[in-house]
Structure 1
Amino acid sequence: MKSAWLLFSLFVPVVVFAKSSYVTVNGYDVEYEMTGNGKHTVFLEAGGSAGLSDWNPIFESLTKKTRVIRYSRIGNGGSEQVMKNYSSEEYAEEARLVLEALNIKTPVVYVAHSYGAYIARRFAATYPEWVSGLMLIEPASEHDVDIMRRIDLAKAEKEIAQVKLDDMTNGMSNQYLDFWSKRPLPDYPEIPNIPVTVIASIKKYENPPLLFFTDEAREMWGELHTEWANAFPKGKAVLTNKSYHFPQNDEPDMVVREIIELLDKIKH
């Protein structure tokens, strides 16, 4: 069974933008684009094995509103290709090094998708002084496996084991080994009381490929992220039934609108 999470990373639309620039981080060339103007800087973190093209559907619209940076993590997109088992802690540190290399002096509004959202949470918890706002889009969570186990423990263990095998065979980062294995569950209380928005899909699947995509799991997924977002004084959960794992592709206007609303909540 090929992991549905791995499959998600393959369906990225191809749109041509201006040629990327590069900075050097830890001795590797990192692809990035930075454009637009405004008092805020939006920093875009792609999901899974995706590169900066993951943000094509919303990038141009955002750059008309504020300054935007998008990049490809080392090993992804047009960045230097390396084979290394990364942790979210290492990815978060490299995101900080990218911002330093680009001479960013003020906190960023961190917008991240899927596994990238897990990195963003780690980043915000580790470097709170670097973040003024946080948006997680269909965020990967250490609670994914708990949802599956609550529905059917035996079946869940089989599916989880297969996803991990797929990740080791096809991926370079062992993403699921990274965050699924963390215990106790790190909900990151170190993240400061900044404006936070979570966009999560509760759209039902006709043929769920895993327990995680069953109707029951979709409801639990929405509840999980609503509770997490609402724990912040300026938190907001957006549950959509109009898109699956890529709201930025299927509902780009909605995602841009929510980002602009998030920017409006930030004081500086």
Structure 2
Amino acid sequence: MKFLGLLLSLLLPIAVVAKPSFITIKGYKVEYEIAGKGKQTVFLEAGGSAGLSDWDPIFNRLAQFSRVIRYSRIGNGGSEQLSKNYSSEEYAEEARLVLEALNIKKPVVYVAHSYGAYIARRFAATYPEWLSGLMLIEPSSEHDVDIMRSIDLAKAEKQIAQVKLDDLKNGMSNQYLDFWSKRPLPDYPEIGDIPVTVIASVKKYNNKEVLFFTDKAREMWGELHTQWALAFPQGKAVLTDKSYHFPQQDEPEMVVQEVRELLNRIEVE
């Protein structure tokens, strides 16, 4: 089985059909949904090739205490379909265009999952005036390949090469082309001194065919994200052994509580 196919079969949640509205960004139709009337605006960025349904378990709960926006990037979900090798720079620009098209006037709290967290990092470094806080859930990073290579270099190179081939074929995930092959990436102090929460899973996988899912990799994943989160002046690390790659699916109450806590930290700035 191809590496990327295995990742998808293990990690992708069951999609739930949403009832979105549409706006036009760069000539393409983009689906979005807004709910709630809170003082702060939470902006949700899905992972990988996921659409706005990535946030079904927590969207309405967040709307109980904030205005919350979710959308599907061009090519994903119910947005207009296309196939190209996107960059995080392009995705970050389109996220800004979405906010502008929706007439958002004040900074948002950016909550992003997996590959979406790298887009959020790029957004935070490029458009700092748009952000008041940042939450990265199971964030993919340039260190994913470092973990794999440190465990078994030869096997890691084979698995990474398969991801590269899948990226070139699929043209939307960009796991290799966009960030595994880029150094350096946006980080503090480029992101700036804002409240940041990083949620990472250290739960052990039964299927350890992929190096990234081995017990050692899970331990290193938790250590890396703890150190990284605490490097931010207002950083907080949250490790869970109750979720796999989708805490918002497996532990929605925990994620909602962490979003609420992040909003509270912003309130008292």
**Given the two structures, how large is their TM-score scaled by the length of structure 1?**
0.95
SS of 2:266's partner is coil
Note the residue ranges of structure 2 that are not aligned, 5 or more in a row: none
Q: What is the CA distance between 1:172 and its match in structure 2?
A: 2.4
1:40 maps to which residue? Answer: 40
SS of 2:31's partner is strand
Q: What is the CA distance between 1:8 and its match in structure 2?
A: 5.0
Cα–Cα, structure 1 residues 131 and 185, in superposed 2: closer, same or farther, change >3 Å?
A: closer
Q: Deviations over 1:31-78 (max 9, x none)?
A: 000110111000000001010000001001111111000000000111
Cα–Cα, structure 1 residues 41 and 91, in superposed 2: closer, same or farther, change >3 Å?
A: same
Contact 1:84 1:173 in 2 (8 A): no
Taking the aligned partners of 2:15 and 2:206, their CA distance within structure 1 comes to: 27
Q: What is the CA distance between 1:23 and its match in structure 2?
A: 1.0
1:94 maps to which residue? Answer: 94
Contact 1:30 1:71 in 2 (8 A): yes
SS of 2:92's partner is helix
Contact 2:85 2:168 in 1 (8 A): no
- The answer to whether the aligner puts 1:72 opposite 2:72 as a matched pair is yes
Residue range with higher mean Cα deviation, 174-183 or 105-114: 174-183
Q: What is the CA distance between 1:185 and its match in structure 2?
A: 5.1
SS of 2:30's partner is strand
2:183 maps to which residue? Answer: 183
Taking the aligned partners of 2:188 and 2:125, their CA distance within structure 1 comes to: 6
Residue range with higher mean Cα deviation, 174-183 or 61-70: 174-183
Contact 1:51 1:78 in 2 (8 A): yes
Mapping for residues 163-174 of structure 1, pairs under 5 Å:
163-174=163-174
Taking the aligned partners of 1:180 and 1:15, their CA distance within structure 2 comes to: 30
Kindly report structure 1 stretches of 4+ aligned residues shifted beyond 6 Å.
Answer: none
Residue range with higher mean Cα deviation, 92-101 or 164-173: 164-173
Q: What is the CA distance between 1:5 and its match in structure 2?
A: 3.4
Mapping for residues 184-263 of structure 1, pairs under 5 Å:
184=184, 186-263=186-263
Q: What is the CA distance between 1:16 and its match in structure 2?
A: 4.5
Note the residue ranges of structure 1 that are not aligned, 5 or more in a row: none
2:118 maps to which residue? Answer: 118
Number of positions where the alignment pairs a residue of Structure 1 with one of Structure 2: 266
SS of 2:177's partner is helix
Q: What is the CA distance between 1:173 and its match in structure 2?
A: 4.2
Taking the aligned partners of 2:97 and 2:166, their CA distance within structure 1 comes to: 30
Cα–Cα, structure 1 residues 37 and 145, in superposed 2: closer, same or farther, change >3 Å?
A: same
SS of 1:265's partner is helix
Q: Deviations over 1:71-129 (max 9, x none)?
A: 00000111111112100000000000000000101010000000001100110011111
Structure 1 counterpart of 2:203, one-letter code: K
**Structural RMSD (CA):** 1.5
Taking the aligned partners of 2:56 and 2:82, their CA distance within structure 1 comes to: 24
Aligned residues with identical type, % of pairs: 78
**Given the two structures, how large is their TM-score scaled by the length of structure 2?**
0.94
Taking the aligned partners of 1:96 and 1:119, their CA distance within structure 2 comes to: 11
Structure 2 counterpart of 1:12, one-letter code: P
1:24 maps to which residue? Answer: 24
Taking the aligned partners of 1:121 and 1:172, their CA distance within structure 2 comes to: 18
Structure 2 counterpart of 1:7, one-letter code: S
Structure 1 counterpart of 2:159, one-letter code: E
Taking the aligned partners of 1:261 and 1:138, their CA distance within structure 2 comes to: 18
2:150 maps to which residue? Answer: 150
Q: Deviations over 1:122-174 (max 9, x none)?
A: 10011111110100001010110011111111111111101211222334242
Taking the aligned partners of 1:217 and 1:95, their CA distance within structure 2 comes to: 32
